[in-house]
Amino acid sequence: MQRKSEELKRRLFEIYDLQSVAELLRWDQTTYMPPGGAAARARQMAMLERMAHEKFVDPAVGRLLDDLRPYEEGLPYDSDEASLIRVVRRDYDKMVLVPAAFVGELESHLAASYESWVRARPADDFAQVQPYLEKTLEYSRRLAGFFPGYEHIADPLIDFRDPGMTVATIRDLFGRLREQLVPIVRAIAARPAVDDSCLQQSFPDAAQWDLSLEVIRKLGYDFERGRQDRTPHPFTTRFSIGDVRITTRIREDDLVEGLFGSIHEAGHAMYEQGIRPELEGTPLADGASDGVHESQSRLWENIIGRSRPFWQFFYPRVQAVFPEQLGQVPLEAFCRAINKVQPSLIRVAADEVTYDLHVIIRFDLEVALLEGRLAVCDLAEAWRERYRQDLGVTPPDDRDGVLQDTHWYDGTIGGSFQGYTLGNIMAAQFYETALSAHPEIPAEIEQGEFDTLRRWLRGHIWQHGRKYTASELVERVTGKPLTIEPYVAYLRGKYGEIYEL
Amino acid sequence: MQRKSEELKRRLFEIYDLQSVAELLRWDQTTYMPPGGAAARARQMAMLERMAHEKFVDPAVGRLLDDLRPYEEGLPYDSDEASLIRVVRRDYDKMVLVPAAFVGELESHLAASYESWVRARPADDFAQVQPYLEKTLEYSRRLAGFFPGYEHIADPLIDFRDPGMTVATIRDLFGRLREQLVPIVRAIAARPAVDDSCLQQSFPDAAQWDLSLEVIRKLGYDFERGRQDRTPHPFTTRFSIGDVRITTRIREDDLVEGLFGSIHEAGHAMYEQGIRPELEGTPLADGASDGVHESQSRLWENIIGRSRPFWQFFYPRVQAVFPEQLGQVPLEAFCRAINKVQPSLIRVAADEVTYDLHVIIRFDLEVALLEGRLAVCDLAEAWRERYRQDLGVTPPDDRDGVLQDTHWYDGTIGGSFQGYTLGNIMAAQFYETALSAHPEIPAEIEQGEFDTLRRWLRGHIWQHGRKYTASELVERVTGKPLTIEPYVAYLRGKYGEIYEL
């Protein structure tokens, strides 16, 4: 058994390394690659991914998993060995159901769809992508069809990104969250607007860059095992637990985008840097799900990064870096500015209160499309209608409406949005638990100390990698199933104060 | 046959891509990788190289080559198809002779040897590396032993780097070159020293960086298909013909190192950028040999980059960038300074006239070691003695003597140095030919025009990649076998003038 387990790990290590190398190629492609490298790069990434896939769906892996079943059953559920076999089996059983020919066909289609979207968005031309999207919907349904016995057609698609989550669970959570959010947004809209003009001055790029490095270093992002570079769309990527890199984007007319972008990505990265080194080279050396990953980035970006204790410590430093711009702006006004709530059209630029409404709209539309209740030709109109209802704003065009996110144009429909809001809900539930164990955390943050919080997150969440599903993790860490109460309480408390509701 | 040829190319393309990806990993390792990435990186590079090697020595490749022999024989010698099969067969026939176990053993040994050298050099402790070097010599002899029928034991080792070259040929060329160089160096030493203090002022890093980019862009290095980064040891690397990158190292107290380093690497890189795109993905998409590669870097660095016409164009620009440092230094004095000849201990810092003596010493010592005429325990002393004889300087320690280059400590003995001087010899012979076809080249360079030279080099050398051996290429391009006469004439003419010999 020991020998078979070693053999399985040897194979997994090679697959992990192939995938990690493909990630490095992708990182280089978006950071430093000259344009002439594009053709070879696409080919080389595809080769590595194909090799990794072939090595994973190799029937020998299936046989090893079968042979290891009695061994696994004799081990404690949360031992590394049992968890590895369990998670690999879950992945393997899913992967082998999807024919390689289908994957190839889908990838070619999505590449063409993405190309079409790249042209259609600036031209505000939904009609151009509509046939692609119709085909993507068909592919998404076929993909779900490979997984027998699901309750809802979107379930297998959601399961790729948030294992164990289902439409039933998410619909319930999101439905109740929406009921809470819509009135809060309306109440805030009735209050005087917050003045955030202090954030829209000229903040020189180099100073912003250095500031972002200083802040995330202080939070605990380990530069011995990571680095920050620039890309148009920020992301986090891992080539090993010892090399987890982030990227950011800085705009000179806006202090918020670069700084909070860096904090957000550092949150993702600290999660992966915090995985136990013993899990390196296995599928356990990864985040538990989209939702759990997002809970870590949003916790640092919003719950910590937009909190008053945080800025009690950092604001004098920021004022010292930008004395002309912020020297005369009081802490109070700055904190209000970075927490301004304003219903808007664009998800990625949305504030903390309205953000989830953007996500819930997309989730509901995805589900409606998959169920056949909504046709692609009616999608743009359905989008506008929901924005009017939920956010009180109506997109004047599709560019800032249904064409705004890349997700449906370079990926399948179903499963790609729920993680953002699941992450917000989890973040609040995790943080509430951390606070009850360590009520001193906010006072420490006021002193620029993040050790207690970081140690708690590493001990309870980061170190486990993918050993537990999101639901298991939430139960283990907080003693309760996932619930919106802590998140709603957090939003009510914070924004009730800012807007004197 | 068409099908078999396609099958061969498909396999070669995958091998090329695996090797290119390994090169990207190496590039990232020396440019941007955080320290924590080292362990996984070494493992991932080794995996890719092993995969590439296994795919190349696959007996199926041998069968394809056998099957393709009649097809090859029916094709013109210099057709792409025939050249590909010929070159691949040459590589394959060599590769399959070396057992994989031996390669693994050698690599482990060299890794340990390199680690020892990294400690031994600063400590000036040759005794520490001596046992490693003795073992390396033994491995080098065993490696040569896998190739039956060689005339000299160093021949198979040289053949890895400069295919077709032999000790007999090189000994003859180098012997005659040394006979010419030693008296020139002595004559120069008897003349008043050139004042190069203008080069050792403070030249701010950022200005040097921008200047280096400006110069190599003007020479023709294509930034759409390449980029420059910083590393402690400059190099050129290729991930595809569309992505050939260089690195450089800038010292603020020295204008020469960064600028000429960039020009040198741009010379290597323009060669690879100039390979015909039809050869992409095959072993033909590479330089013909170490010597030919070096001929291109040294041609641009020395014959062009240290020439008066070049500086007639660029010097006013450099004076504008560094007005305080060079505003009062006349062109004439600057050109003399960058061509100052001074026998010294360190190869990589040597001037154009003494450089080859450094190389010839190493080549002769390598051959003596392999022949058994010299024991490793006597190497340091033999090194000192040859420096005294040939250059008139004696290393006061081994740090700047036998320990100075990494080559013998992280590679086999035999074959690693001759390319530098073969390159110098070829560069002069190529340039002489280019000049007789286009006598207008120097006048164009005075105007900052490099098109004619670049077009000539691309047409005669670059585009062919590895289709021809160095000897074939020299004959084809210059109509003569490789000869030292143009090189000696070039050195005599240039330095005779500078030093009024």
Encode pLDDT of B31-76 as tens digits: 999 999 999 999 999 999 999 999 999 999 999 999 999 999 999 9
> pLDDT, tens digit, for every residue of A145-185?
999 899 999 999 999 999 999 999 999 999 999 999 999 99
CB contact under 8 A, A25 and B21: yes
In B, minimum Cα distance to A44 occurs at: B17
CB contact under 8 A, B226 and A17: no
Q: A45 CA to chain B: closest CA distance, Å?
A: 9
In B, minimum Cα distance to A38 occurs at: B242
Choice between B18 and B100, residue whose per-residue pLDDT is larger:
B18
Neighboring chain A residues of B33 at a CB cutoff of 8 Å: 243
Q: CA B341 to CA B349: how far, in whole Å?
A: 11
B46 vs A: CB within 8 A: no
CB contact under 8 A, B34 and A225: yes
CB contact under 8 A, B17 and A47: yes
Cross-chain CB nearest to B227 (options A14, A34, A47): A34
Q: A442 CA to chain B: closest CA distance, Å?
A: 31
Q: Give the mean pLDDT of B186-197.
A: 95
Q: What is the dihedral of CA B99, B102, B104, B105, to 10 degrees?
A: 170
Q: What pLDDT does B130 receive?
A: 98
Neighboring chain A residues of B239 at a CB cutoff of 8 Å: 37, 40-41, 44
C-beta atoms surrounding B335 within 10 Å:
17
> pLDDT, tens digit, for every residue of A119-144?
999 999 999 999 999 999 999 999 99
pLDDT reading at A448 higher than 90? yes
Q: Considering only residues 218 to 247 of chain A, which have any Cβ-Cβ distance to chain B shorter than 8 Å? A: 222-227, 229, 239-243, 245
Neighboring chain B residues of A48 at a CB cutoff of 8 Å: 21
- Which value does ipTM take for this structure? 0.93
Backbone phi, then psi, for B57, in 5-degree steps?
Answer: -85, 5
CB contact under 8 A, A24 and B24: yes
CB contact under 8 A, B32 and A227: yes
Neighboring chain B residues of A242 at a CB cutoff of 8 Å: 34, 36-40
- Give the helix ranges, DSSP H, for B202-279: 205-219, 255-273
In B, minimum Cα distance to A24 occurs at: B25
Q: What pLDDT does B17 receive?
A: 97
Identify the band that residue B383 occupies on the pLDDT scale cut at 50, 70 and 90: very high
Cross-chain CB nearest to A17 (options B17, B47, B280): B47
Percent of chain B with pLDDT strictly greater than 90? 99
> Nearest 5°: CA angle at B132, between B129 and B134?
110
User: What share of residues in chain A are helix, strand, coil (percent, to 5)?
Assistant: 70, 5, 30
Rg (CA), chain B: 23
Q: B36 CA to chain A: closest CA distance, Å?
A: 4
CB contact under 8 A, A224 and B38: no
Q: Considering only residues 276 to 295 of chain B, which have any Cβ-Cβ distance to chain A shorter than 8 Å? A: 280
Q: Give the mean pLDDT of A339-360.
A: 96
Q: How many CB pairs under 8 A join A and B?
A: 106
Tell me which residue of B231, B219, B413 sits closest to B301, measured CA to CA: B219
pLDDT reading at B388 higher than 90? yes
- Render A375-440 in DSSP notation, one character per residue: -GGGHHHHHHHHHHHHHS---SSSTTTTTS-SHHHHS-SSSSSHHHHHHHHHHHHHHHHHHHH-TT
Q: B108 CA to chain A: closest CA distance, Å?
A: 20
CA B87 to chain CA centroid, Å, is 21
Q: A243 CA to chain B: closest CA distance, Å?
A: 5
How high does pLDDT run on average in chain B?
97
B20 vs A: CB within 8 A: yes
CB contact under 8 A, B41 and A223: no
A41 vs B: CB within 8 A: yes
Select which of B81, B265, B294, B352 is catalytic.
B265
Tokens of B85: 């099969």
B50 vs A: CB within 8 A: no
CB contact under 8 A, B239 and A41: yes
CB contact under 8 A, A280 and B40: yes
Cross-chain CB nearest to B243 (options A14, A37, A48): A37
Q: CA B131 to CA B151: how far, in whole Å?
A: 28
Identify the band that residue B371 occupies on the pLDDT scale cut at 50, 70 and 90: very high
Q: What pLDDT does A292 receive?
A: 98
Structural element, H or E, at residue A237? strand A236-240
Cross-chain CB nearest to A17 (options B28, B44, B280): B44
A9 vs B: CB within 8 A: no
Identify the band that residue B9 occupies on the pLDDT scale cut at 50, 70 and 90: very high
How high does pLDDT run on average in chain A?
97
Q: What pLDDT does A1 receive?
A: 83
Residues of A labelled catalytic: 265
DSSP-derived pairing of the beta strands A228-230 and A243-248? parallel
* Domain residue extents for chain A: 2-96, 197-341+437-470
Tell me which residue of B169, B127, B175, B124 sits closest to B151, measured CA to CA: B169
> pLDDT, tens digit, for every residue of A381-435?
999 999 999 999 999 999 999 999 999 999 999 999 999 999 999 999 999 999 9
A266 vs B: CB within 8 A: no
CB contact under 8 A, A242 and B34: yes
B40 vs A: CB within 8 A: yes
In B, minimum Cα distance to A39 occurs at: B242
pLDDT reading at B327 higher than 90? yes
Q: CA A413 to CA A403: how far, in whole Å?
A: 14
A21 vs B: CB within 8 A: yes
CB contact under 8 A, B28 and A33: no
Q: CA A134 to CA A398: how far, in whole Å?
A: 17
Q: What pLDDT does B1 receive?
A: 83
> pLDDT, tens digit, for every residue of A50-99?
999 999 999 999 999 999 999 999 999 999 999 999 999 999 999 999 99
CB contact under 8 A, A37 and B242: yes
- The dihedral region occupied by B387, where left means phi > 0, alpha psi between -120 and 50, and beta the remainder, is alpha
Mutate to test the interface with A, among B10, B15, B28 (most CBs of A within 10 A): B28
pTM as predicted = 0.94
Q: CA A391 to CA B228: how far, in whole Å?
A: 48
Q: CA A128 to CA A469: how far, in whole Å?
A: 39
